[in-house]
């Protein structure tokens, strides 16, 4: 994973609460055996009309939402399935960060492991962001701060380890492999007890 220190981009807003992972990437696209190429199917069933053309009513299809790297989404974003295809699809589509007042556990874990910044903000800050689509934000991972265009700031909480992994681009599998001795000791202890 590449280090991720800050993201500066405009926001696109999807205000719906409980956007589930089937919405983000429908199950029929999960037969892939690769991580790449899912961006064209992100939000497929909202995004395209029956004839395959863009659905003009879908928020992310509006001209002002094009090229926005920060997605502000309704409460409880990413609920449902554990498919990592959801963050893969969003990243491939061009989303670098998701902000919401709640983000489902497995989605958040998957997102952060792929360098997709998943950030929970307070309800009032969430309201503000939902009401102001298209503003440019700077999300600073090291300080845990979101800078607004008017100079205002929102702070956000992030697990210290998750932050460290993003900033340094830590390879978590490599980190786990370094604990091999402790893992072996655990296995021996359990086998002795059995």
- The residues that touch other proteins, with contacts defined as CB under 8 A, are 15-18, 20, 22-23, 26-28, 30-35, 45, 74-76, 79-84, 87, 102, 104-106, 109-110, 113-114, 159-161, 164, 172-173, 175-177, 179-180, 182-183, 185-187, 190, 194
Q: Which residue, 131 or 159, is less far from other proteins as judged by CB?
A: 159
Q: Which residue, 148 or 170, is less far from other proteins as judged by CB?
A: 170
Token pair 């589930």 is found at: 20
Q: Which residue, 72 or 137, is less far from other proteins as judged by CB?
A: 72
Whole-number minimum distance, CB 70 to other proteins, in Å?
Answer: 21
Maximum Cα interatomic distance, the chain, rounded to a whole number of Å: 64
Find out whether 62 and 9 touch, Cβ atoms under 8 Å: no
Find out whether 103 and 120 touch, Cβ atoms under 8 Å: yes
Whole-number minimum distance, CB 189 to other proteins, in Å?
Answer: 10
Q: Which residue, 10 or 75, is less far from other proteins as judged by CB?
A: 75
Whole-number minimum distance, CB 4 to other proteins, in Å?
Answer: 15
Q: Strand 145-147's sheet: what is its strand order?
A: 117-120, 97-100, 70-73, 6-14, 136-140, 145-147, 153-155
User: Strand ranges (DSSP E) for the chain?
Assistant: 6-14, 70-73, 97-100, 117-120, 136-140, 145-147, 153-155
Whole-number minimum distance, CB 40 to other proteins, in Å?
Answer: 15
Q: Which residue, 8 or 161, is less far from other proteins as judged by CB?
A: 161
Distance CA(97)–CA(27), nearest Å, equals 23
Whole-number minimum distance, CB 134 to other proteins, in Å?
Answer: 20
């Amino acid at each position: 994973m590449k280090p991720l220190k800050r993201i500066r981009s405009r926001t696109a807003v999807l205000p719906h609460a409980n956007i589930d992972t089937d919405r983000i990437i429908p199950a029929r696209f999960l037969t892939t055996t690769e991580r790449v190429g899912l961006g064209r199917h992100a939000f497929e069933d909202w995004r395209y009309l029956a004839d395959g053309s863009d659905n003009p009513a879908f928020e992310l299809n509006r001209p002002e939402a094009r090229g926005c790297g920060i997605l502000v989404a309704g409460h409880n974003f990413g609920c449902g399935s554990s498919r990592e295809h959801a963050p893969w699809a969003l990243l491939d589509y061009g989303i670098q960060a998701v902000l919401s007042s709640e983000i489902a556990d497995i989605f958040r874990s998957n997102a952060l492991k792929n360098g997709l910044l998943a950030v929970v903000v307070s309800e009032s800050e969430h309201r503000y962001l939902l009401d102001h689509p298209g503003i440019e934000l700077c999300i600073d991972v090291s300080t845990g701060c979101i800078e607004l265009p008017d100079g205002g700031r929102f702070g956000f909480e992030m697990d210290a380890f998750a932050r460290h992994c993003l900033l340094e681009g830590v390879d978590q599998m490599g980190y786990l492999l370094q604990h091999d001795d402790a893992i072996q000791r655990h296995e021996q202890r359990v086998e002795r007890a059995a």
